[in-house]
Chain A
């Protein structure tokens, strides 16, 4: 299974790099869709159907919205010239990337093997959720009972996103 996941992750990286370098914005968006739909297959392989359903629906809707926006505006990318300030930015980003990779390798050498966990709360949740909440789907039982604040936060993020879009694109009071 790790081989399949590695091939999928390779496809995702290729799609993301193509999305950055494509001349046409429409093909860039379709290449960005490769990342999302490969993630759906990864979730299914890792036995997380709840996440896979949410990811496939949200990915489709965001792709449709972005394609609608692209077809209404322009398909050409803005031309950016490389001057001295951008060279400084790029070199800073490279240095930061190297530092991040160094600490990531340090941290990853102390982790458990893939698929094994030692979290005490996780085993308590898996053992007692069904008896305490009466919910046959353990994920929903955890999300709406033990982790209620998480769910409220996610709903608030969506509410705030809609509020922000309405504020930026409002009709009245726009000068």
Chain B
């Protein structure tokens, strides 16, 4: 890609990443949530990789980081659901944390935590699919 594309991607990607984090963290206050924010974060990574190529950010041939964080975050979501079973009422996804004052950033019990881990899971899953299609290309041609 030309120097203009590289520079613009460099300037924009950080803002997209921050906007994704904002959408995830404010998921229980404004429209959005884990799915939208996670897809935005994956989009920031994809923009950088498409502009600079996979050599520029030192991607290895067998990239384990994204698939590892995907598996760990969905495991954490399951653990939190099971923890709701043992604390308080005997149902999964029990909202056991105090709900707090409505409209503040730290409120709504466990919902922001679910949002954060679902966001990590979605971002890592989309990035894993993209990396698999881009990096493994050379192996198929042989």
Q: Which positions in A face B, CB cutoff 8 Å?
A: 49-50, 53-54, 57-58, 60-61, 64-65, 68-69, 72, 130, 133-137, 139-141, 143-145, 148-149, 151-152, 154-156, 158-159, 161-162, 165-166, 169-171, 174
Contact = CB atoms under 8 A, between A and B. Distances in A.
A51 to B, nearest CB: 9
B31 interface: yes
Contact of B111 (A49, A141, A159): A141
Give the size range of B's interface with the partner. Answer: 35 or more
Interface string B29-60: 11111011001101100100010000000000
Contact of A50 (B36, B42, B124, B126): B36
Contacts of B92: 148-149
B139 A174 contact: yes
Q: Which 6 A-B pairs have the closest CB atoms?
A: A148-B93, A134-B99, A49-B31, A135-B108, A57-B39, A158-B125
B129 A65 contact: yes
Given A134-B102, A149-B92, A50 B31 contact: yes
Contact of B42 (A61, A68, A69, A133): A61
Contact of B118 (A50, A134, A151, A161): A151
Contact of B36 (A57, A155, A161): A57
Given A61-B46, A144-B115, A174-B139, A136 B31 contact: no
B31 to A, nearest CB: 4
Contacts of B40: 57
Given A53-B23, A72-B137, A134-B107, 11 more contacts: A50-B33, A53-B36, A57-B39, A64-B50, A133-B99, A134-B109, A140-B115, A144-B114, A145-B111, A151-B114, A165-B133
A140 B124 CA distance: 21
B100 interface: yes
A171 B50 contact: no
A165 B122 CA distance: 15
Contact of B32 (A53, A134, A154): A53
Nearest to B110: A144
Contact of B130 (A50, A60, A65): A65
B118 A155 contact: yes
Contact of A148 (B70, B74, B81): B81
A154 B139 contact: no
